[in-house]
Chain A
Amino acid sequence: MYFVRRLIFLLPLVLVISFLAFCLVRVAPGGPFDKERKPASPEVEKQLKAKYHLDKPLLVQYWIYLKGLLRGDLGPSLKYRNHTVNDIIVQGLPVSLALGGTAFLFALGLGIPLGFFTAVYKGRWVDYAGSFLALLFFCIPAFVVGPALIMVVAIKLKWLPVALWGSPLHVILPTVTLGIYFAGRVARLMREGMMTTLNAEFMTTARAKGLSEPQALLKHAFRLGALPVVSYSGPLLADLLTGSFVVENLFQIPGIGVFMVNSSLSRDYTMVVGLVLLYAVLLLLLNLAVDLGYALLDPRVRYE
């Protein structure tokens, strides 16, 4: 019941977000037609604006946009005028989803064990080395990791392709570049979560009833220790799935992450609002899923 109510509540939230994004992009100076190849004559510009309803009052524009949105139409892109926003998203999203998905798995696959073992071996060299590594991961920006990997793995060693998208081999470098920062964050969250559960009373109980240490750790401590990671994985996945500017730019990958930055810069109003909506819906749904997962993992959590 609780979740149904929250699901229904998402609708007004998404509406508010769409309206905010709609106003926000229009606050920025300049318009979508400022960077035309030739300065458009006033008549042409006027007609362009009329065609895309940009000459109408803001609320009317929003009303027109909403009507399109109800039909699932995000409108025409103002920069790439022979494409609709739906087109661009449909083309780019699968690529970003694939890359984001593998990066998510990479981040969890590296971060969770790292956090788990540093917590279990607290105060020993495994902890110091592992914690340092996790922190290092999240102190090096992707635009350093990417070029470094390209220089060493692709250019010097020639093991993997430099860029582009196509074969499974093309996925590896972008995945590492995108995921390593988040692996560091996941590791730190995992360590923190494990630290609070390792000394909990239910662990003493588990040991007292004769569970071996690995069993107690995996069955009891891990389950609750992973909670911070679970709650972080909602925003993390939303971030990763909507693409990354740096990685898509570096490796020339045709995703939608590049559009988030470029369309904000070129004031492609419909494109920005469309992408913001995509991100917001994804984030809200994933957060809902996270809360569901919470209830499954932690028996103490009850939603009214």
Chain B
Amino acid sequence: MSSATAILAETSAPKQVRQEHLSPNQQAWRRFKRNRMAVASSIFVLCLVALVLVWPLLSNPALAVPRPMTYSPTALTDSPFSPPDAQHWFGSDANGRDILSRIFYGARISLLVGVVGAAVSLVIGVLWGATAGYFGGRLDERMMRFVDILYALPSIVFVIVIITTLEVHFKTWLANVFSPEVAARGRMPFLFVGLGAVSWLTMARIVRGQVLTLRKRQFIDASRSLGAGEGRILFRHILPNVMGVIIVYVTLIIPSIILYESFLSYLGLGVQPPQASLGSLIAEGAAQINPIRTYWWMIAYPAGLLAITLLALNFVGDGLRDAWDPRTKE
């Protein structure tokens, strides 16, 4: 009798279900945190960003206590080509400038170019892809044909034309509106636009594909029947749903833009001296290669930092993709 009630009580007692209800984003975030490589890489990237941001302060000759580590990136010394030692941890370059300081300075510009270039490609790619996918029909057909055609143009020709054209037309404008100084060091904005303009194509294709499947869904019909306009549907209902994919792709596009900028700097089309990016530092090092003496530190350290930064950014991007990709759900 008593055992029967015990059994009854046991089965009828509400089972303690500790099922948490997490939104898809929260679940993805959990998956991301479990990926140790991605988390470590994120921490590395954050540290690097913090370091390059405070570096001008640390290396400012007026503020900094003269320490071996914190030379100003532009300070000239009388010891050119000195190998790494206690004075210059990473050696010095052809003008006696401290390489350690130069690579942090270069990393700052490389990261800046990567982030802003990615932002430019994000804006163009998302607007283009979303418009094509949402309105569909002949507009979609034409817009995507245009993307196909741009794909068939070698990007380097495109970049060269964009950068040199913008430079000529806007340099005088910059000099007039701001100051000749701004104009003199101002290749960067053109670089941003040029790099963004050649890397939005894949973004447009991805966004279009996503929007195309979303716009047939019922919640879109629902909001339309409630009287929402096209713009509101696109920006309030469709784009937020594509956000995950977009964020993942942007984190993967940043390293590729950094790499492209370093290639342009190698060609002499990137940032101009006295500014430096990791790419232009590598190019300076590569220019010093000769069979008699090798100044390996001039190429190894900037290349090393570039490779590590790109690796970390890619790990973060891969981690985000794995976490947000619905196919990887347990």
Contact = CB atoms under 8 A, between A and B. Distances in A.
A1 interface: no
Interface stretch (A13-21, A73-81, A107-115, A204-212): A13-21
Interface string B310-330: 110011000000000001000
B145 to A, nearest CB: 9
A151 B289 contact: yes
A135 B314 contact: yes
Among B148, B164, B306, which residue has the most Cβ atoms of chain A within 10 A? B164
Contacts of A13: 148-149, 152
Interface string A190-211: 0000001000000000000000
A139 B149 contact: no
A138 B315 CA distance: 12
Contacts of A28: 160-161, 164-165
A140 B291 CA distance: 23
A264 B153 contact: no
Contacts of B315: 135
A141 B262 contact: yes
A91 to B, nearest CB: 20
Contact of B267 (A242, A261, A276, A283): A261
Interface stretch (A48-56, A142-150, A221-229): A142-150
Interface string A52-96: 000000000000000000000000000000000000000000000
Task: Tell me if B's interface is mostly helix, strand, loop or mixed.
Answer: helix
B311 A139 contact: yes
Contacts of B266: 141, 143, 246
B46 interface: no
B307 A139 contact: yes
Interface string A132-167: 000110111101100110110001000000100000
B306 to A, nearest CB: 7
A284 B255 CA distance: 27
A280 B282 contact: no
A272 B161 CA distance: 11
A33 interface: no
B158 A242 contact: no
Nearest to B152: A280
Given A139-B255, A144-B303, A246-B263, A264 B161 contact: yes
Nearest to B167: A29
Given A29-B164, A135-B311, A279-B154, A155 B291 contact: yes
B283 interface: yes
Nearest to A265: B160
Interface residues of A, number: 41
Task: Tell me if A's interface is mostly helix, strand, loop or mixed.
Answer: helix
Contacts of B151: 235, 283
Given A27-B165, A136-B311, A276 B154 contact: yes
- Closest CB pairs A-B (n = 7): A139-B310, A29-B168, A144-B303, A280-B152, A264-B160, A28-B161, A139-B307
Interface residues of B, number: 40
Nearest to A235: B151
Among A144, A148, A276, which residue has the most Cβ atoms of chain B within 10 A? A144
B294 to A, nearest CB: 6
B157 A24 contact: yes
A79 to B, nearest CB: 15
Nearest to B292: A155
A155 B294 contact: yes
Nearest to A128: B37
Given A16-B149, A17-B152, A246-B263, A260 B157 contact: yes
Contacts of A25: 157, 161
A143 B265 CA distance: 11
Given A17-B152, A29-B164, A151-B296, A140 B157 contact: no
B156 interface: yes
Contacts of B161: 24-25, 27-28, 264
Contacts of A272: 157
Contacts of B262: 141, 143
Interface in B280-294: 282-283, 285-286, 289, 291, 294
